[in-house]
């Protein structure tokens, strides 16, 4: 199964961009990279996903390296409400099953 | 449109009892997946149902079971509860077509405490 590696925690100043890295060196050509976040005791919330092109939506941007072995989630202007655990997930094969790693705890500080 | 609804929100059970959790997916979604989240193990996949059939299963004992109804609503059952079953149980729904880049929408979960 494709695995992801993320730093356990990161700090970011409010109003600054938060750049969350993720390594997925064993990703296959047809596997997508998804990002979810989970605020304490709530269900995970979808943020963005991509295959090989960079993606942007109203929440974030996703930058995927050309070799697809790593990606970065960018929150352009972090707020205190962005404090959460961020999960980078590679969707494996054709089954609707996500493997959640430990994620990155993002602490946005005033 | 309405999101994924899980009931009950909180539950306290005694060791040895059984419990049934309910999940109503987003209208039109045919796939329902269940996850268990504990501080020690994180988010772990339990099983997925699609069109009333279990399509995928995680590494959990047979005490954990589920089913899906014709309206896509799903229930999860845990029999002979153990203290270690205390967790947040999350349900997620998706359109469910294989090979497509559909993500999940998660519910808020059911917090089960076994005493």
The pLDDT tens digits for B5-53 are: 999 999 999 999 999 999 999 998 888 999 999 988 888 999 999 889 9
Q: Does B66 touch chain A (CB under 8 A)?
A: no
Q: What is the mean pLDDT of residues A13-25?
A: 96
Q: Give per-residue pLDDT as tens, B53-111.
A: 998 889 999 999 999 999 999 999 999 999 999 999 999 998 766 545 567 889 999 99
Q: Does B85 touch chain A (CB under 8 A)?
A: no
Beta-carbon count within 10 A of B80 CB: 11
3-class secondary-structure state, position A19: strand
CB contact under 8 A, A43 and B96: no
**Can you read off the two tokens belonging to residue B28?**
């039109």
Residue A30 banded pLDDT, cuts 50, 70, 90: confident
- Looking up tokens 């990606």 gives A71
- Chain A residues whose CB is inside 8 A of the B31 CB are 96
CB contact under 8 A, B50 and A98: no
Percentage of chain A exceeding pLDDT 90: 70
Report pLDDT for A101. 82
Q: Give the gap in angstroms from C-alpha B88 to the nearest C-alpha of chain A.
A: 8
């Amino acid at each position: 199964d494709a695995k992801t590696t993320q730093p356990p925690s990161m700090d970011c100043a409010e109003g600054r961009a938060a750049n969350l890295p993720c390594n997925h060196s064993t990703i296959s050509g047809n596997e997508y990279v998804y990002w979810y976040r989970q605020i304490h005791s709530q269900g995970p919330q979808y943020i963005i996903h991509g295959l090989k092109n960079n993606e942007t939506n109203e929440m974030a941007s996703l930058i995927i390296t050309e070799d697809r072995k790593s990606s970065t989630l960018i929150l352009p202007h972090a707020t205190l409400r962005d404090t959460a655990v961020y999960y980078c997930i590679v969707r494996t094969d054709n089954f609707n099953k996500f493997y959640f790693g430990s994620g990155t705890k993002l602490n946005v500080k005033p | 449109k309405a999101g994924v609804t899980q009931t009950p929100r909180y539950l306290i059970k005694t060791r040895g009892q059984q419990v049934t959790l309910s999940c109503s997916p987003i209208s039109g979604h045919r796939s329902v997946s269940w996850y268990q989240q504990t501080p020690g193990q994180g988010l772990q996949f339990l099983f997925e149902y699609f069109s009333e059939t279990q399509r995928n299963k995680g590494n959990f004992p047979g005490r954990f079971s589920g089913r899906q109804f014709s309206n896509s609503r799903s229930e999860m059952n845990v029999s002979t509860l153990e203290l270690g079953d205390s967790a947040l149980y999350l349900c997620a729904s998706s359109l469910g077509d294989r090979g497509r880049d559909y993500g999940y929408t998660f519910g808020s979960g059911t917090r089960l405490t076994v005493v």
